[in-house]
C-alpha cells in the first residue's frame, strides 16, 4: 500500500513554495507516495498547488486580525468548522504523516492528526517562530528549521537544522544568465536590477521605485520589476510616462530562476523563502523587511544575513529616500557585489528539501 502524506499550510508564497518543494522531493524518493495538500479557502495555495500538479482541499479557516474588527468575531466559529473538516479529511485520507509548513490551515490539520496518533512534522521557515508553530511543536515529533538558535522556541531534542527548501529550477539558476537576459528582452551590456516584493508585491518598495524611476533611467541600468497584482497598472503607467523601455514590469514572475539569473543586484523583502533563494543563487541583495510581519520576523531574517556581511538592509520607513540610491551605489560597485555574493553563498543549504523529505519518511512506522 502506498505511503500517504498530508501537507498543510499556506497563505503566502513563503509557505506554499517550500511545501511544494518538499512534495516534489518526496515524489522523487518514492513516486508511489500519495500527497494531499490542505490549505485555506480563497488563499493563493488554492491556485498554486494544483498548478504544481497536486490535489488540495480548502478549509474555511482565517487569521485573526490585530485590530478589533467584526471579522474577529467569526474567527472562533471558522476555526471550529475548520477543525471538524480537518478531522474528517484526516479520517478519510488516512495519512501516515502530517506535515505543517505554517499558515492558517496547518493548525487544524496537525491538531486533528495528532489527536489520532498520526506523527506530525513542522517546517519553520523563519528565524523567529510563529505562534501556530510554537503551539503545534508540543505534539510534533520533528521540527525542521532554517536558522540556528531555534531552541529559544522549540524543544531542542526535536529540532533538525535543514534550511528552507526551494524549487529545483531556482537551484539551477546559476549559469542561465544568457537565457534569462533573452527571456526578459534585456541587453547583455547593461547591469540589471531585479525588484521583488513577495508574491503579493510590496507597496513601500513599489512606491520607492516609482518615485525615483527617473534616477534609475538616467543611470543607464535596466530593471525587472515584480510589482504584485495591485500595483501593476500604476507601474506600467509610470514606465510609459517616463519612456522607460529598459524597465520591465510584471505582476508576478513564474520564471524566477531566469529573473535571478539575469540580475546583478536584487531588491527584496526579507521573507524566509526570499532569503533562502538569494543564498542559493548567490546574488548581492538589498533587503527591505516588511515591518508589519508577525514578531517583526522579516527584520530578524534580514539581520541574520546583514550581521554576516551577506546583504545590505534598508528599513521600510527609509526606503522612499534611500532605496534607489542604495541600489545604484551597489550596481556601480563590483567589489561590494562580489563580497556580498561570496558571503551569502556560505549560508546556502541546497539539500534542504531532501533532508526534510527524509525526516518525513523516518516518521512512517
Which residues contact residue 147 at a Cβ distance below 8 angstroms, ignoring those fewer than 6 apart?
126, 127, 161, 304
Cβ-contact 259, 194 below 8 angstroms: yes
Strand partners, 122: 100, 143
Judge whether 125 is annotated as a binding position.
no
Judge whether 58 is annotated as a binding position.
no
Which residues contact residue 69 at a Cβ distance below 8 angstroms, ignoring those fewer than 6 apart?
none
Judge whether 133 is annotated as a binding position.
no
Judge whether 360 is annotated as a binding position.
no
Judge whether 276 is annotated as a binding position.
yes
Judge whether 238 is annotated as a binding position.
no
CA pair distance 233, 227, nearest whole angstrom: 9
Judge whether 274 is annotated as a binding position.
yes
Judge whether 273 is annotated as a binding position.
yes
Judge whether 199 is annotated as a binding position.
yes
Q: Which residue has the cell 505582476?
A: 251
CA pair distance 215, 363, nearest whole angstrom: 55
Q: Identify the helix (H) or strand (E) that includes residue 220.
A: none
Judge whether 346 is annotated as a binding position.
no
Which residues contact residue 261 at a Cβ distance below 8 angstroms, ignoring those fewer than 6 apart?
173, 174, 175, 176, 177, 179, 180, 281
Judge whether 294 is annotated as a binding position.
no
CA pair distance 301, 306, nearest whole angstrom: 9
- Write the CA distances from 94 to 91, 98, 218, 237, integer angstroms: 5, 10, 60, 52
Judge whether 126 is annotated as a binding position.
yes
Sign of CA dihedral 65, 71, 77, 78: negative
Binding residue numbers for UDP-N-acetyl-alpha-D-glucosamine: 12-14, 126, 167, 199, 253, 272-277, 298
Binding residue numbers: 12-14, 126, 167, 199, 253, 272-277, 298
Amino acid at each position: 500500500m502506498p505511503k500517504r502524506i498530508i501537507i498543510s499550510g499556506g497563505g503566502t508564497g513563503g509557505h506554499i513554495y517550500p511545501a511544494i518543494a518538499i512534495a516534489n522531493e518526496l515524489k522523487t524518493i518514492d513516486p508511489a507516495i500519495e500527497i494531499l495538500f490542505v490549505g485555506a479557502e480563497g488563499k493563493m495555495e488554492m491556485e498554486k498547488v494544483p498548478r504544481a500538479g497536486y490535489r488540495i482541499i480548502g478549509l474555511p479557516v482565517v487569521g485573526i486580525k490585530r485590530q478589533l474588527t467584526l471579522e474577529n468575531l467569526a474567527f472562533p466559529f471558522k476555526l471550529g468548522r475548520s477543525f471538524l473538516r480537518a478531522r474528517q479529511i484526516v479520517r478519510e485520507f488516512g495519512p501516515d504523516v502530517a506535515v505543517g509548513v505554517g499558515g492558517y490551515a496547518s493548525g487544524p490539520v496537525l491538531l486533528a492528526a495528532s489527536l489520532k496518533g498520526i506523527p506530525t512534522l513542522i517546517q519553520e521557515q523563519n528565524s523567529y517562530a510563529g505562534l501556530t508553530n510554537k503551539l503545534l511543536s508540543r505534539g510534533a515529533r520533528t521540527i525542521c528549521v532554517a536558522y540556528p538558535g531555534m531552541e529559544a522556541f522549540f524543544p531542542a531534542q526535536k529540532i533538525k537544522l535543514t534550511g528552507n527548501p526551494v524549487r529545483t529550477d531556482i537551484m539551477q539558476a546559476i549559469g542561465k544568465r544568457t537565457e534569462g537576459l533573452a527571456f526578459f528582452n534585456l541587453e547583455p551590456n547593461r547591469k540589471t536590477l531585479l525588484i521583488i516584493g513577495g508574491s503579493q508585491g510590496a507597496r513601500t518598495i513599489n512606491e520607492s521605485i516609482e518615485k525615483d524611476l527617473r534616477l534609475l533611467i538616467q543611470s543607464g541600468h535596466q530593471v525587472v520589476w515584480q510589482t504584485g497584482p495591485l500595483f501593476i497598472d500604476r507601474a506600467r503607467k509610470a514606465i510609459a510616462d517616463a519612456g522607460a523601455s529598459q524597465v520591465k514590469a510584471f505582476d508576478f514572475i513564474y520564471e524566477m530562476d531566469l529573473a535571478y539569473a539575469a540580475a546583478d543586484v536584487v531588491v527584496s523583502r526579507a521573507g524566509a523563502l526570499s532569503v533562502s533563494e538569494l543564498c542559493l543563487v548567490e546574488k548581492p541583495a538589498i533587503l527591505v523587511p516588511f515591518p508589519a510581519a508577525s514578531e517583526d520576523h522579516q527584520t530578524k531574517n534580514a539581520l541574520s544575513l546583514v550581521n554576516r556581511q551577506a546583504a545590505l538592509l534598508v528599513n521600510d520607513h527609509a526606503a522612499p529616500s534611500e532605496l534607489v540610491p542604495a541600489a545604484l551605489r551597489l550596481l556601480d560597485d563590483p567589489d561590494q557585489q562580489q563580497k556580498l555574493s561570496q558571503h551569502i553563498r556560505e549560508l546556502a543549504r541546497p539539500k534542504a528539501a531532501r533532508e526534510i523529505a527524509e525526516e518525513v519518511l523516518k516518521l512512517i512506522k
